[in-house]
Amino acid sequence: MILPISDRMPSKNAATAPFEFAFSAIGTFCRGAIPLALCLALLLDSVNPGRLAGQQPEFIDREPEIKAAYLYNFGRYVEWPAGVIGPREFVIGVIGESPVITPLGIIAESKQVNGKAITVRRIRVEKDFKQCHLLFVPAGQDPKFVAAILKAASDTPTLIVGEQPDFALKQGHVGFYTAQNNVKFEINNQSAVKAGLKISAKLLSLGRIVGEKPGK
C-alpha cells in the first residue's frame, strides 16, 4: 500500500524534511500511475545518497517522473499575486520537447493545484506562448527560442523552472541539478520576489539558495 504522502506538508525536522519532500514528489506520481514495485524502488532510491554514481536502477530512468512530480509540488508551495490564477485552472507551460511531458500529463489527469485543474501547455514556437503560472525550460532547446520565451515570461508573474546548469542563478527562479544520483533543486528567491512570487519558507528550506541573499 502506498500511503497518500503527496498530500503531506514537509516535516519541520530539518534532518528528514528533504527526504519527506522527495517522498511527496514521487508519491504524487506513484498513486495510480506506475506499479507498486516501481514506486517502492523510487522511494528507496530517493533517500539513498550512498548509491554509486554508475549504479543505475534497472527498471526505468526515473528522472522525468521525479521532475514532473516536483513541478506539481512547486505549484503547491508558491503564492502568486491575487487574481493571477483563475478560478478553474493552473497552467504549466513546457518549452519544446521533454521526457517530463508524459508523466506531467499523467499527474494533470488526476491531481489539482490548490483546487484547480492542471493544464499542460506545449510551447513549440514563439507564438504558442501565452501567460502561464509555471514555465518549464528543458535542456537542449534552441537558445534564441528560449530567450524569446523567457523575455515574454519575465513580464508576467510566472515561476520559471529549468534544468540547465546555473539556470536559477542566470535565467529563472528554480533550477534542477543532480547530486549523489538524486534530483535536487536550487532557488533564486530574490528573482522570484521581483516577479511577484512568494515561495513558501518550507520550500525554501529544502532548496539550495542561489543569487542575492535577502537583506543584501
pLDDT in the model for residue 42? 43
> How does pLDDT run across 81-118, given as a tens digit for each residue?
987 777 789 999 999 999 999 999 999 999 999 899 99
What cell does 199 get? 515561495
Cα–Cα distance measured from residue 12 to residue 17, given in angstroms and rounded to the nearest whole number: 6
Report residue 174: phi and psi, to 5°.
-135, 135
Cα–Cα distance measured from residue 203 to residue 36, given in angstroms and rounded to the nearest whole number: 27
pLDDT in the model for residue 24? 54
pTM score, two decimals? 0.74
Cα–Cα distance measured from residue 192 to residue 118, given in angstroms and rounded to the nearest whole number: 21
Cα–Cα distance measured from residue 116 to residue 211, given in angstroms and rounded to the nearest whole number: 31
pLDDT in the model for residue 51? 40
> Which fold, 62-209?
Rossmann fold (3.40.50)
Domains of the chain, residue spans = 62-209
User: Could you tell me if 46 and 182 are in contact, meaning their C-beta atoms sit under 8 angstroms apart?
Assistant: yes
User: Could you tell me if 74 and 174 are in contact, meaning their C-beta atoms sit under 8 angstroms apart?
Assistant: yes
Cα–Cα distance measured from residue 194 to residue 214, given in angstroms and rounded to the nearest whole number: 12
Specify the DSSP class assigned to residue 7.
Answer: G
pLDDT tens track, the chain, 216 positions? 222 323 333 344 444 344 445 445 555 445 444 443 344 344 434 434 344 344 444 334 689 999 999 999 999 999 999 877 777 899 999 999 999 999 999 999 999 998 999 999 999 988 888 889 999 999 999 999 999 999 999 888 999 999 999 999 999 999 999 988 889 999 999 999 999 999 999 999 999 999 876 555
How many other C-beta atoms can be found within 10 angstroms of the C-beta atom of residue 75? 22
